[in-house]
Structure 1
Amino acid sequence: MKKIIFIVVCIFTFNLNAIAQQKVTISKPNYLEGIITQSTFKQKPYANWFNRNYDSYKPDETIVKKIKKHLKGVTIKAFMGTWCADSRREVPHFFKLMNEAGLNENNLVMIAVDYRKKTTDNLQEGLNIIRVPTFIFYKKGKEIGRYVEYAKESLEKDILKILKEEPYKHSYDRS
């Protein structure tokens, strides 16, 4: 009987240790998930990388003026990961560019995803998010283009092409 109790206690202890280890690897308190706003990045621990990259970015003013002309009727759904180096670089630049171009913040939805590029509420469902950041541009509810992970020319030039509905393929578009 003592051996059976010992075995049960060992199995129970092993299972608890396995569960505890899973929680540690899955749970990342500094990684956001779900709908977020620019003000989210103004808080610790995100402010360190966000403010540095926002402040250092100097968009081409000539292109910013052209982007501003093409923002009417545009909505944007953006996906990023606070764990992702590309997102930490591009998202602050994107916000600065959109702020300078005068994008109405109501026309932008920024969504933070986990490592699998998903959210608990499946906000990414049906949108084929394979890399982050991904900025999807819409006019009249129809996708007109997307910027994925990094620029082909520059953030401003790539976004201007999308907004003007000129031929543009992001770096992972194999069509």
Structure 2
Amino acid sequence: MEDKYITNKINKMRGILMIYFCFALFGCQATTTNNQLTEELVGLVSPQQLLQAKQKFADNYQAYQPSENELAAAKEFKGKSITVLFGAWCHDSQREVPRLLKVLDMAQSQLLDLKLIAVNRNKQEPSGLYRSLELRYTPTFVLFEGTTELGRVIETPTVSVIEDLAALTL
């Protein structure tokens, strides 16, 4: 009788342990999936990497139709550089960065260099460029001629990112 009692207890314990391990296993898988979905894009990225990694940016790039004024303004960037500090999580970045990329692509701009620097939610990234450029708001578009900063468009442009940046060249 006592053996049957012990056997029943052991079987119950096995059942409880199996349930515990199933919860642990499925819980870990769910955590991994959630982390993959919310993984941040941080550091220097190419336009192609950005558009492949972040669907919202790709959708906004595809949907945007630049004006003739924007396409003409993009010609003002010959020999200049633009550094963009943005957050993949930031709605203003999701709107404005794809617009910039689309205009530069369609206008076949003679831009010397384009740097896209993704920052985390603390507005930081590994190279420390956010610090030297004194980043406060995202996105921040910085126009350079050589090493000289000509000016910035911060967060929300007045007319459009391209036209506001082109106005800095005058």
Q: TM-score, normalised by structure 1?
A: 0.69
Q: C-alpha deviations, 1:124-167, integer Å up to 9, x for none? A: 22211100111100012100011111111223321221233xxx
Counterpart contact for 1:34–1:119, Cα < 8 Å: yes
SS in 1 for 2:138: coil
Tell me which residue corresponds to 1:30: 39
The answer as to 2:157 corresponding to 1:158 is: no
Residue 79 of structure 1 is matched in structure 2 by: 85
Instruction: Please tell me the residue identity of whatever aligns with 1:102.
Output: Q
Partner in structure 2 of residue 41 of structure 1: 50
Contact 2:41–2:88 (Cα < 8 Å) also in 1? yes
Listed as ranges, the gaps of 5+ residues in structure 2 are: 1-34
Change in Cα spacing, 1:142 to 1:118, as seen in structure 2 (3 Å) is same
Q: 2:71 pairs with 52, 64, 69, which one?
A: 64
Residues 33 and 112 of structure 1 are in contact (CA less than 8 Å); yes or no, is this contact kept in structure 2?
yes
Aligned in 2, Cα 1:104/1:61: closer, same or farther, shift over 3 Å? same
> Does the residue aligned with 2:168 lie in a helix, a strand or coil?
helix
Rg larger in 1 or in 2? 2
Higher helix share: 2
Contact residue 83 and residue 141 of structure 2 kept, 8 A: yes
1:4-19 pair list within 5 angstroms: none
Normalising by structure 2, report the TM-score.
0.71
Deviations 1:104-127 (A, max 9, x none): 576011100111211123122221
Partner Cα separation in structure 1 for residue 83 and residue 162 of structure 2:
17
Deviations 1:13-34 (A, max 9, x none): xxxxxxxxxxxxxx78521111
The count of corresponding residues between Structure 1 and Structure 2 is 136
1:113 alignment counterpart = 119
State which of 133, 139, 148 in structure 1 corresponds to 2:145: 139
User: Structure 1 residues 52 and 138 mapped into 2: Cα distance closer, same or farther (>3 Å)?
Assistant: same
Change (3 A) 1:43 1:161: same
CA offsets 1:78-101 (integer angstroms, 9 cap, x no match): 101111111111111111112123
Q: Is 2:97 aligned against 1:91?
A: yes
Coordinate RMSD, CA, aligned: 2.1
Provide Cα deviations, 1:24-70, integer angstroms capped at 9, x if missing partner: xxx785211110011112324x1x212221122111123412331x2
Question: Runs of 5+ in structure 1 lacking a partner?
Answer: 1-26, 165-175
% identical aligned pairs: 30
